[in-house]
Amino acid sequence: MILIIKHIDIEGAGTLEDFLADGTRDVSLVNVSAGQRLPDTLAGVEALVCLGGPMNVYEEEKYPFLTGEDILLKDALARRIPVLGICLGAQLLAKACGAKVTKAGVRETGWSKVSLTAEGKNDRLFQGLTGEVNVFEWHEDTFEVPGGGVLLAEGAACRNQAFRVGDSAYGIQFHIEVTPEMIESWIKHYTKDGQPSRAAAREMLREARVNNNEFYRQAQKMYLNFAGMIGA
């Protein structure tokens, strides 16, 4: 069974949920923002996916479920269960490994490109992708690469974009699961202090529609690569 942790309604699994809907594996989605409880154990869990959210990893008092999720991530690492942490999920994975998570020098929102490192080009998760990957970003925090971890992708504005710990625990700062509809929803809910501007938001949505087919194919490759690690 694949366990997916959802932190807020508007940040669902997107195209990942579509990928997993083929019925080849059981999927359990826990929406902690709706009051659903995290499991006490990962017994029977083959892979753990932690999605994004607007909260920060250091806001445990405000969001008590973050403490429980930290325990589950540490358990997943100990059991060598494949992990995919997206945005907040990546920051939570880094924290579970003892790495610092802090405010980034710049708040990244919108489309950008990240470059795979030498290790990233040879990593199983990014197999089949080129050295430069088109990504969608929406975050204000960043993580250090955990001790013993491997940096897989770098960005110009925010350096640490993807890392691996062990054989199959991955944190990716960017969003691979988004659809144009999700992006439109985020613009409506998350725009603050005039950022992104109306013009930037329009361009963001235009690019989402233009990029959608290529972005979808890219995400499918990563999903297939990650699925190949489950039960391996």
Token couple for 219: 């995400």
SS3 189: helix
Q: Of residues 7, 137, 158, 175, which has the active-site annotation?
A: 175
* 189 in catalytic set: no
97 a catalytic residue = no
87 is known as an active-site residue: yes
Task: Please measure the distance between the N-terminal and C-terminal CA atoms of the chain and give it in whole angstroms.
Answer: 14
The token pair that represents 163 in the structure block:
């890392």
| Separation between Cα atoms, residue 141 and residue 103, nearest integer Å | 4
Looking at 69, 108, 137, 177, which residue is catalytic?
Answer: 177
In 21-87, alpha helices (H):
65-79
Catalytic residue among 50, 87, 97, 158: 87
| Cα distance between residue 140 and residue 54, in whole Å | 9
Long-range CB pairs of 200-208 (<8 Å, 24+ gap) are: 200/109, 200/110, 203/110, 204/109, 204/110, 204/111, 205/180, 207/110, 207/111, 208/111, 208/136, 208/178, 208/179, 208/180, 208/183, 208/184
DSSP H stretches of helix in the chain: 14-20, 65-79, 88-96, 118-121, 180-190, 198-227
Catalytic positions? 87, 175, 177
